[in-house]
Amino acid sequence: MKPPRFEYLRPADLDGALAALSQNNGETKILAGGQSLVPMMNLRLVAPKRLVDINRIPGLDRIAVEGDRLVIGALARHTDVLTSPIVGQYAPLVIAAYRHVAHPPIRNRGTIGGNLAHADPASELPAVMLALDAEIVLRSSNGERWVPAERFFLGTFETAARADDPNSARGGCNSLGLRGDEPAAGRLCASGGGGDIRRQRRQVCKRAPRLCWCHRPRYAD
């Protein structure tokens, strides 16, 4: 199937993208990797009147450490995050989760920002962001908002992002994780240092109306 007709915009910088999105009337979508959006358009599950392609905007794909924060740009491809030595050093839980995300062709095109904005409860990354106390940075023509992951994911395919918000993921560091082999029923994540588990969180993903966790702290001997 083919999608309905739509207007295609490809701004050269972030200001241009924000300007285009500020005119949004609820019928504009951001195009990044397109791994979820394009199939949904082909199936006529969504029919945006306008697509704003952000793939040519410089700087949105950066991966860096700023102070005590690991910063991952919204346009960072899954493959780039998976192979990043910075992410491997400061957030190995992200690397562990990425080994279960799709397959190479999808990871080569898909982006971390698009994955989080899609808010699929069966996806590994929203649960990881919650476990790491990540903050999602949302920008619009009205300014910038920092939203904790706990408040970003509102429900199935629903987030706190407005239609004019591109995003950037910022996460905590010094974490490790375990993932059971159950099919997206839950995620078991732990954080700590030096091999000592200080905190455990179990994310209830697919079987809950929104991403949440159950606290059950266990301290190492």
Q: Enumerate residues 6+ apart whose C-beta is below 8 A from 45.
A: none
**pLDDT confidence tier of residue 212, bands split at 50, 70 and 90:** low
**pLDDT confidence tier of residue 50, bands split at 50, 70 and 90:** very high
Q: Is pLDDT of 110 > 90? A: yes
Q: Which pTM does this prediction carry?
A: 0.76
**pLDDT confidence tier of residue 214, bands split at 50, 70 and 90:** low
- Pairing of the two strands 50-53 and 28-31: parallel
Q: Is pLDDT of 24 > 80? A: no
Q: Per mean pLDDT, which of 6-20, 166-180, 186-200 is the most reliable? A: 6-20
Instruction: Specify the pLDDT at position 86.
Output: 93
Residue whose tokens read 């010094």? 174
Q: pLDDT tens-digit profile of 53-105?
A: 999 999 999 999 988 888 999 999 999 999 999 999 999 999 999 888 888 89
Cα–Cα distance measured from residue 146 to residue 118, given in angstroms and rounded to the nearest whole number: 18
For residue 123, the SS3 value is coil
In CATH, the number for domain 59-215 is 3.30.465.10
- Rounded-to-10 torsion of CA 24, 126, 59, 171: 130
Opening angle at CA 146, ends 26 and 28, nearest 5:
15
Instruction: Specify the pLDDT at position 164.
Output: 66
Indicate the DSSP class of residue 109. H
Q: Where are the domains of the chain?
A: 59-215
